[in-house]
Structure 1
Amino acid sequence: MRISSFQFIQRNLDNISARSSEANRQLGQASSGKRVEYASDDPVAANGILNYKQELRKLDQYQNNINLAENRLRREETGLTSGENITQQVKELMLKANNPAITQNERNAIKSELESRIDELLNIANTKDEFGQAIFGGFQTDTDPFTRQPNGDITYSGDSGQRQMIIGDSVKVELNHDGELVFGGVPNPRGDFTVDYQLGAEPREDQVRVESANISNPGALTDAQQYSIKFVENTPPEPGKVSYTITDNLGNVTPAAPATLPYTSGEKITVDGIEIVIKGETKAGDEITLNTDITDGTGQDDLGVFDILNRAKDWLSSEPHNPSGQSEMIEILDELDAMGSHFTRVRADTGNRMQRLDNQKETHLEMTLTLDKLRSGMEDLDYAKASGEFIQTMVALQATQTMFGKIQNMSLFNYI
């Protein structure tokens, strides 16, 4: 076959150009450190690399979500820890105020300090996150969830919603505890009712207190509260012993008048589906009232944090060094203990959520390392192998250029 000079030259130039392009491509790979820069370099590998990068970007977003959730939960944990500390401080104030030796002026000073603690806890309840959203407002995050009323009561205007953040495939974590739970869900140490005492002035060796008042038979409950337990002299009178009757809000008396039931400290009293245990030394004329703000028959299972603190403040404004005041003090101290334990339980749940974030963060880190290694194996350049291929390409290019130069100068005229 005869090859024209033009074809010969064109074919060699094409060969040199191809070798030069290959050398440039290899130099580009060495500069970027990537074996696959374009899909045309390796279509199969390029598709796998794209999938790995998408997974890595998703993990980065999950990590950002985890950081955001962690910041919010830490703010909540800080508030709950402060709530525990304030509860302990209030308890110490109440024990100090219960000393009969202090004056009313000193008690007023303690009351002012207690009001400061209430204000401090109110500020905590209205804590905002870094975006200005109320932490304890549920889904209602744009306004303060707790507001003080003119009578001193503090009301909640949020809801019971708990916001969530996606931190993994099909994995979510709650970002908050709503204020209704945190500041209104203190378990009632008495069970299902709150207690008021109207006791005589006679001193007692064993202070009167209601140990428990629980709805034991909801089917028998008429919920005709208040329930007033009145203590009277035995008939016939017995020294040191009293009897009682129970009157509900409808005027029903148990037992039916004029009968009475003997009182024994610690013995269970049953009325209207309610079991009541009272301990201590009662006197004729004493009265204990059971009440609840709940009217659906479930009882006052929970107490509000600010209601507990306002009750303590009211105690400081009364004359507390009498049997009624001392029984009331037992109630307040038990409620403060329940309040502190409640803050601790909620904080523990917050800690569990933060632990879940840490676990998910560790899982994402391990997955990121695995995916990055797989992506690197498909995308990154093997410098040792690439160096050898580049040398081969340059040798081939130089050989092609040298051969083309020599053959191009060959002519029969050189031998005539």
Structure 2
Amino acid sequence: MRVSDKTIYTNFLSSYETSATKMQKTLEQLSTEKQVNSASDDPVAASQIINLKSAVAENSMYASTISSATSWNEAQDSALESISDVMLRMRTLVEEAANGTNTTNDDATIKDEVQEDIKQVVSTLNTKFGDSYLFGGENTTTQPFTLETDDDGNITGLTYNGTDQNLSRQISDGVSVDLFANGSKFLTASNSSDTSSTTTTLGSYFGNLVSALNSGDQSALGSDLLGETDDFRDNFVNIRSTIGTLTDRLNSAASVNSSQQTNLKESLSNVQDVDIASAYTQFVQEKTAYQATLAMGSKIMQLNILDYMD
């Protein structure tokens, strides 16, 4: 049966367009280094790419939160370490003041140094992390602790201006941690020197300590106030230990997050990225097929028609 010229022409155009489309798609993949450049290329793969990109972005956000939370804890740890050292120095001074062998000048010097130490403790409790106070609860923009003094400059108490909440942070899908921020936890500590197991406030302790130093109350200095010094220092140490436990958890979370990010990026690469060597080989083959199609067409049809297709 004789095949008409129209059929031959139609078949040639179809073969030509197919070869050209394949070659153009592969060339685009080589140019972008992506297997899928539009949803029409592969709808299933395109959907997977969208979901994986979203997962990578979300995991990256969690990584940033974990890193920021860890830095927050480290800043708190440094502050509480400093306070612990100052409280230890204060204990030594309280012992010296209670021994009964000091001159009036010695007592005055001890009182001045204790007041400076108290100011340093409060200043450290007002430490900022970036623009946020570390120990103000949810009120991170207001200085949490303010010393109270009398007209002579003697410390009489302490005011807490923060809240009694910690700060919640989401570190993975469905998992949150509470960063320590509740500065009210510093205000009380069990008084091991009191047989009735009552509690005293940090502000009252500061005021009573300065008052006893002013009056030379060696009995109070050597008993209740010395014990309260230990109690409040222990409280700072215990809170620091709690923060350290949370830091360990955050470090573990960071390790898991890093592994997840590596897996997600690898999965995304497998779906999205093109194998350059394989794609180039395919391009060469498709180019050869395209040129062969043109060569075959030049033998079947008039060259002036092919000139418009080349």
Instruction: Give your verdict on TM over 0.5.
Output: yes
* Greater CA drift, 64-73 or 306-315: 306-315
Output one character per residue of 1:274-304: Cα deviation in whole Å (capped at 9) or x when no partner. xxxxxxxxxxxxxxxxxxxxxxxxxx3x332
RMSD after superposition = 2.2
Partner of residue 187, structure 1 = 190
In the alignment, which residue of structure 2 is the partner of 1:357? Answer: 250
Which residue is equivalent to 1:147? 146
Which of 276, 283, 286 matches 1:393? Answer: 286
Structure 2 residue matching 1:12: 3-state secondary structure: helix
Identify, as 1 or 2, the structure richer in strand.
1
* C-alpha distance in structure 2 between counterparts of 1:313 and 1:82, whole Å: 21
Partner Cα distance (1:319, 1:165) in 2: 49
Task: State the Cα deviation string for residues 293-328 of structure 1 (Å, max 9, x = none).
Answer: xxxxxxx3x3323332332222221234xxxx2354
Q: Is 1:74 equivalent to 2:57 in the alignment?
A: no
Letter in 2 for 1:213: S
Distance 2:209 2:61 in 1: 48
1:170 is aligned, of 174, 177, 184, to: 174
Is 1:159–2:56 an aligned residue pair?
Answer: no
Identify which of 346, 360, 367 aligns with 2:260. 367
Residue 306 (1) aligns with residue 203 (2):
yes
Higher alpha-carbon Rg: 1
Runs of 5+ in structure 1 lacking a partner? 192-211, 215-299, 411-416
Which residue number corresponds to residue 293 of structure 1? Answer: none
Partners of 1:394 and 1:32 lie apart in 2 by: 18
**SS of residue matched to 1:105:** helix
Instruction: Give the 3-state SS of the residue equivalent to 2:288 in structure 1.
Output: helix
- TM-score with structure 2 length normalisation? 0.87
How many Å apart are 1:56 and its aligned residue? 0.9
State whether residues 94 and 221 of structure 2, in contact with CA within 8 Å, keep that contact through their aligned partners in structure 1. Answer: no
Which amino acid is the alignment partner of residue 134 of structure 1? Y
8 Å contact from structure 1 (residues 72, 176) kept in 2: no
1:88 alignment partner in structure 2: 88
Q: Which has the larger share of helix?
A: 2
List aligned pairs for 1:161-310, cutoff 5 A: 161-181=165-185, 183-190=186-193, 212-214=195-197, 300=198, 302-310=199-207
Residue 35 of structure 1 is matched in structure 2 by 35
Q: How far apart in 2 are the matches of 1:316 and 1:172?
A: 47
Task: Give secondary structure in 2 for the equivalent of 1:41.
Answer: coil
Deviations 1:203-248 (A, max 9, x none): xxxxxxxxx225xxxxxxxxxxxxxxxxxxxxxxxxxxxxxxxxxx
In the alignment, the residues of structure 1 paired with residue 168 and residue 302 of structure 2 have an alpha-carbon distance, to the nearest angstrom, of 80
Which amino acid in the other structure matches residue 215 of structure 2? S
Cross-structure match for 1:277: none
Contact persistence 2:97–2:221 (CA under 8 A)? no
The residue type equivalent to 2:187 in the other structure is G
1:297 paired residue number: none
Between the aligned partners of 1:317 and 1:64, the Cα distance in structure 2 is 51
Superposition map of 1:313-324 within 5 A: 313-320=210-217
Asked if the contact 1:305/1:339 (under 8 Å) is kept, the reply is yes
Aligned length, in residue pairs? 297
Asked if structure 2 preserves the Cα contact closer than 8 Å seen for 1:118 and 1:306, the reply is no
Give the unaligned 5+ runs of structure 2. Answer: 151-155, 304-310
SS of residue in 2 equivalent to 1:375? helix
Q: Using the aligned pairs only, state the percent identity.
A: 26
1:164 corresponds to which letter in structure 2?
Answer: S
Aligned equivalent of 1:3: 4
When normalised by structure 1's length, the TM-score is 0.66
